[in-house]
Structures are given as C-alpha cells and as structure tokens.
Structure 1
C-alpha cells in the first residue's frame, strides 16, 4: 500500500516537471504580442537611463526608487524592472556612469504611447524630475 501511494505521488510530481517547460513558454509569451502584419512575436521595450544630480544624499538616491514604484501603477505595463549601475569590469564599451536604469515591457506600441502620456507617469515625472540631471530613453521592438 505504501508503494502505491509513493507511485501515485511520484506520478503527480513527474507530470508537474513535464509541464514546467510548457508553463515557462506560456509565461514568456505573456511578454510578447503578435504583429498582425508579419505574424511574428514582438515585445516593445522602454529602456531609460537616469543620471541623478551630484550632491544628493545616499538616502535621496535610494528614495528615488519611489519614482519607479509609482510608474508600476500605469496600466498596460507587462513588466517593470529597475536597478543601479553594476560594478562590472571596466571596458571601453561599458558605460556605468548612470545612477539607475529602468526597463519596461509592453505588448504594443500603443501601450507604450498610453504610458508616455498617462497622468500617473506625468505626475511621477513632475514629482521626481528634480532629482535627475540627465535622462536617456531607448524604445525598441524586440523580435
């Protein structure tokens, strides 16, 4: 009887393990949309670099993350990630001079446009723009 329960429990675990790649792929597809004209999967990315003003306290620099948390409230964002520059090995092609970066994924270019003019986004910019001296934006269509 104990062996039968072990086999029953094990077969459920094996089914879950077998389904994991399918579930992972389904989750990845949530970050992409189908371009109706080409039939290809695409993801819109909004990548932003922030250089905060010199002379800010470490607390002010840390508190700047409130800006990103406000942006999370804008609808149609698939995912939002932010962080500080990494202390990676210096190379000619590496620019770690920025303070924070922001990476936002959208399903469509229209969703990105809504984000850009959304009142939550505009209010957050108004509230936090006093902290930065430079911002660079890169919007891309990933295939």
Structure 2
C-alpha cells in the first residue's frame, strides 16, 4: 500500500510539473467513480406552511440510513432566467454512493421505503436521475 501511495504521489507531482500526461496518471491510479442519485420534487400547492417547513426532515431521515456516502439538499437558486433553466421544482437532493449495488440496496431498505411512503403525500411529482461520475 505504501509503495502504491508513493507511486501515485510521485506521478501526481510529475503531472503537476508537466513531466507526465493525465493519461499516464489515469493508468497508474484510475479515477475512482461514484454513483450520483439526483432527485427533484414538486411539492403540492395546497400544503400548509408547517408542512412545507417540515418537508426537509425527509432528507434528514434519509441521510441517516446506511450505504449513503453523502447527501445535500435545497431548493432552486435565484439564477438569472435562461432558456435552458428550469427552476420549477420545490426541492432537490443529491446523494452519492460508492457503488451501484449500494445505491440499489439503499433503495430497497425497509426503513427507506417507510420514509418515502411517509413523505410521498407532500409531492405531486418526483424525478430521479442516476449517473456514474468520476
């Protein structure tokens, strides 16, 4: 393990100094990929202010489950309007997993299913986007 760390560190230093190309580095120490689980939620229009205020607890509960590496959630940014921009959603969440197996196991956990059922009454629409990232 120490030898691999030394080789990787030396290669990174060589890359920084311009001696090695990124292709060579990727062959020595390939970039670790992870799985991104991105969800968009459109909350029901007739929710009370208290229900809207309670909705982020959904993400807090999901964040306590095993297999999940990280979770970040929020609402649409006040971005300048653009033709390609869709800020019609109420909330979004980004979750990361080490493997597709972890993501799929997480989605089948009884506690996950229980939490989703509990909060699904809050939204009219949900979209899920899964991707592999480096």
In structure 1, the residue matched to 2:43 is 52
Q: Deviations over 1:59-114 (max 9, x none)?
A: 21120011111101210111011001111111111110000001000000000001
Q: Deviations over 1:20-69 (max 9, x none)?
A: xxxxxxxxxxxxxxxxxxx5410100000000001212321120011111
In structure 1, the residue matched to 2:130 is 139
Q: Which runs of 5+ in 2 are unaligned?
A: 1-29
- Residue among 91, 100, 113 paired with 1:109: 100
Aligned residue pairs, count: 106
In structure 1, the residue matched to 2:26 is none
Matched ranges for 1:117-128 at <5 A? 117-128=108-119
Matched ranges for 1:28-39 at <5 A? 39=30
In structure 2, the residue matched to 1:85 is 76
> Aligned-residue CA RMSD in angstroms?
1.4
Q: Deviations over 1:123-143 (max 9, x none)?
A: 111100000000000000002
Query: Which structure 1 residue ranges, 4+ long, deviate > 6 Å from structure 2?
Result: none
TM-score using structure 1 length: 0.70
User: Which protein shows a greater Rg?
Assistant: 1
TM-score using structure 2 length: 0.75
Q: Which runs of 5+ in 1 are unaligned?
A: 1-38
User: For residues 67 and 116 of structure 2, what CA distance do their matches in structure 1 show?
Assistant: 18
In structure 1, the residue matched to 2:87 is 96
- Residue among 65, 69, 72 paired with 1:74: 65
